[in-house]
Chains A and B, each alone.
Chain A
Amino acid sequence: MAMPDFLTALLLAAAHVPLSLLLNRLTLKLRPQKRDLPAQGTFFKSALLALLLLGSLCPFLLGEGPRERFLWSLYVVVLLGCQCLVFISVMCVSESGRRFFLLVRIAANPGVGLEALKASYRGDDMLTIRRERLVHWGVMEARAGRLVLKKRSAYLYSLFFYLWGRLLGFRWFAGKGKGRLL
C-alpha cells in the first residue's frame, strides 16, 4: 500500500471537518432555524454533503487501476462516515446532554453549591424542553393535548439504543415512584 495515497486520504479526512462546518453555517444562513431549538440533524446533513463532495474526488486522487481506486474510495467514505457519526453525536451531546449542560452551568457559576445546582436543573425542566424539541423536529405531534409519535425512524433509533443499553447491563427505568424496568 502506497504511503502517499494514505496521506492523501488523511488530508481528505482532515478537510471534511472545516468543509462540514462551512456547509452547516451556509445552511443556517440560507434556512434560518429557530435559534433556541437548533435542528441537530442539519449538521449531520452538512457532514454527509461534505462526504459526498470529498468522496467524489477519491477516484481522481487515490490509487492506480479501478480496483485500487474503488477500495480507496470505500476506505475514505467509511472514514468520513464515522466522522459524520462523531459530528451528530457531538451536536446531540452538546445540545441536550445532561452532563454537558451541567458543565456549562458550573462554568457560568464557578463554585456553585451542589444543592443549588441540583435545584437549577430539575426533571420537569428536562422533560419540558425535550417535549418542545421533539414537537419542533416533527418526531411527535400534539393532538388534542396528547403527544403522538409521528416519525417511526426516531422510535427505531431509540429502540436500538435501549436494546444496546440493556445488552450492556444498563437499567432503563420508568414508572410511578418506585420505578419499573422497561
Chain B
Amino acid sequence: MNLSVFMLAGIFSGLAFGGHFLLWRLHRPKDDLSALAACMLGLPCLFAGALLLYGGFSLATLAAALLLACCLGLAYLFWYPAAQAVSPTMLMTLLVAWRGGEGMTAEELREAIPETVLTADTFENLFAEGFAYLDGEKVHLSARGRRTLKWILLLRRLAGFGEPRG
C-alpha cells in the first residue's frame, strides 16, 4: 500500500464530482439517478481503464483506488435524493431553526410548506426515473422499482426494522 492509492482515489472522485456538478449546472438530466450513477461510478471506471492501459500503475493499485472512489460515489448516490427532492424533514428543521426560540406551531409549519412543495415532483420522478409506469390511469411497478424495493426491504428486515411509515 502506498499513498498513490489515496491520490488516485482523490483524482477519480474529483473527476466524478466535477462531472456531476458541471452536468447539473449546465443541463440537469431527467433521470437523475442513472446519470448520477454514470458520473459517480462510470467516469472513475473509464479513467481507471485508461490508466491501466497507459498509466503504468499496477492492477492492484488501480483496483484499490477505484474501489475507494466508487464507495464514496455510492455513499453520495444514496444521500443525494435528500438534496434533490427537498427533504421535508430537513425543510421543517430549517424553518423551525430559523424561528429561533420562538418556534412554530404545527399550523404555521403547514402553511409555510405548501402541498405543492411536498408532492410536486414526487410522482413525476417516480415515472421519470423508471421505478413505476402508467398503464392508462393505473400505476404499476417497473422491474427497476421491484428490484429496488426487494433489496431495500430485505436489508431493513435483516436489520430488524419493520415496515416504513413514509
Contacts and interface: CB of A to CB of B under 8 A. Distances in A.
Interface of A: 1-3, 5-6, 9-10, 20-21, 24-25, 28-29, 35-38, 43, 62-63, 68, 71-72, 74-75, 78-79, 82-83, 85-86, 89-104, 106-107, 110-115, 117-118, 121-131, 133-134, 139-140, 143, 145-149, 154-155, 157-159, 161-162, 164-165, 167-170, 172-177, 179, 182
B64 A75 contact: yes
Nearest to A164: B83
Contact of B159 (A25, A126, A167): A25
B5 A1 contact: yes
A176 B63 contact: no
A177 B28 contact: no
A91 B79 CA distance: 11
B85 interface: yes
Contact of B117 (A78, A164, A179): A179
A106 B113 contact: no
B94 A106 contact: no
Interface in B35-75: 58-61, 63-64, 67-68, 71-72, 74-75
Given A111-B139, A130-B88, A21 B74 contact: no
A167 to B, nearest CB: 8
A127 B78 contact: no
User: Could you say which of B1, B28, B61, B135 has the most chain A C-beta atoms within 10 Å of its C-beta?
Assistant: B1
A125 B113 CA distance: 13
Nearest to A80: B71
Contacts of B162: 35-36, 38
For the residues of A in contact with B, the DSSP-based class is: helix
A68 B1 contact: yes
Interface of B: 1-3, 5-6, 21, 24-25, 28, 58-61, 63-64, 67-68, 71-72, 74-75, 78-79, 81-97, 101-106, 109-119, 122-123, 125-126, 129, 131-132, 134-135, 137-141, 145-146, 148-149, 152-153, 155-156, 158-166
A123 B113 contact: yes
Contacts of A157: 90
Contacts of A103: 126, 131-132, 141, 145, 148-149
A147 B4 CA distance: 50
A122 B148 CA distance: 23
Contacts of B159: 20-21, 24-25, 43, 91
Contacts of A2: 60
Contact of A147 (B6, B74, B109, B119): B109
A100 B105 contact: no
A96 B149 contact: no
Contacts of B94: 155, 158-159, 162, 182
